[in-house]
Structure 1
Amino acid sequence: MKIIVCIKQVPDTNEVKIDPKTNTLIREGVPSIINPDDKAAIEEALKIKDKQGAEVTVLTMGPPQAEYALREGLAMGADKGILLSSRSFAGSDTWATSLALSGGIKKIGNYDLIFCGRQAIDGDTAQVGPEIAEHLDLPQITYVSKIRSINKEKAVVERALEDGYEVIEVTLPAVFTIIKESNNPRYPNIGRIIDVFDNMSIDVWDEIMIKLESEKLGLKGSPTQVLRTFTPPIKAPGKMIEGNTDKEKVLNLLNNLYNNIVK
């Protein structure tokens, strides 16, 4: 079985800065991590590898520093790492990102499963996984919380809902988006980390290698245009309404509201 896991390196900070010219995140110099949902997707692929054998490839698009996210995936147990990196990819929205990742997946070829995280913490759109499925004309299941059974022909999974889950059977190949609550990602051991950084290489592909025109990528190929970015104003702190009884608390609340309205 051949599994491709699409991951994203995201800022490990709440102090995100925006480029005023492009309205995109400034990632240089900001500490980064593997997106939590994507890390759960890696773990889900590795669980299949442990149980029945599989070749796991981690794939990402980003600047050169995104190589470290791939190496972390390799240290966890993935077999190959591929980085899509080029100036042509800069400023991509979800559509251009999914198009580039789909190009990388086509170049890899002969896959049985594609895993993505549900959504990235720096954008929260949950669009890239489903868009990859559309580009590749594959069935998709989003919000996967558990894989009940799987073989080369089909899989049975649980899809998380607000008030429970639904069980879905799907023929392969297919695209799954995994939620971080599905598992607890493993920690790499020291020996594996050293081996990954000393002996394993990362393939770097540009738009030419994945056979895509630069006009369809990056800012040029992104139909989403951000008109304005701003920091929301800080809200006033909440106020606790005290009282010895529930009735007294309600009266104090009403008096507080009345005084604020009158003033």
Structure 2
Amino acid sequence: MTLQYARPYLLRAGINVLGENGKQQKDHLVTEIRNRKSLGANQPDSDKGAKDIISELQNIHLVIIEESNLVRLSSEDDIPGGREGVFLHTGKQVAETVDTRTQMDRLFTNLAHEYPELIIITKFIFRNGPVKDHEIKREFDGQTFRGNKMNEFTLSMSQHILRDSGVIEDTDRGVVGASWPEQAFAHILGEEFNDLTDGDDSKNVKEPVLFERLETMYGVDRNTFDRLLSRLQRYGIVAEGSYEEMTIDLSALMEAHIYE
């Protein structure tokens, strides 16, 4: 799926309208989103921009468009089952989240599920930052990750999403990583595990060895490592053994759109 216009603060506006008022006719929701937040210079036709936002909310499993163009928040029954949907949040879960930071994190999680190029762009910035826009384009323009081909527009929109979500931030010398999303962390963890085991996920790896690699290559600190590793354990992706050993289910990462 090709990334379109998907600014997280606008997605959040649409979610909050539905959370506050319940089901909405699509045309009415377009008006409400437009009134909540300016769609910016990149979308001179604000009606079209708001419609794009509703389409993206549908693409990332946060809303369902029913017959007669009624739009509602998604629930557990609407989310892909099994390991594919292990990271996903429902529209109701996002709408019920009081904390803005957590709400934006959950929006980003669903975006990264459908647009996993966000994961590898994040990885590149954390490993190489500060980086300039032209360096990101040089690295990824024309490349494909999990079937999604990147171009100048999608790379620019990806950076907007990463900024809006607090994943990256600007400095005088370029963009740098700011906060690790759980899927990007899962990706680099799986990548290093795969390298250490030669692709055999039946093998175990010492947890301190993995931490040292992520700390050295990506600047992952101990608190971040422990916090995100704990989440992956809850999801059943990481299993701990004895003597500080652990294994990672790489096939689960592939099913969750994180790895290829």
Q: Choose 1 or 2 for highest CA Rg.
A: 1
**Bigger relative contact order (CA 8 A; separation at least 6):** 1
More helix by share: 2
Q: TM-score, normalised by structure 2?
A: 0.25
More strand by share: 1
Q: TM-score, normalised by structure 1?
A: 0.24
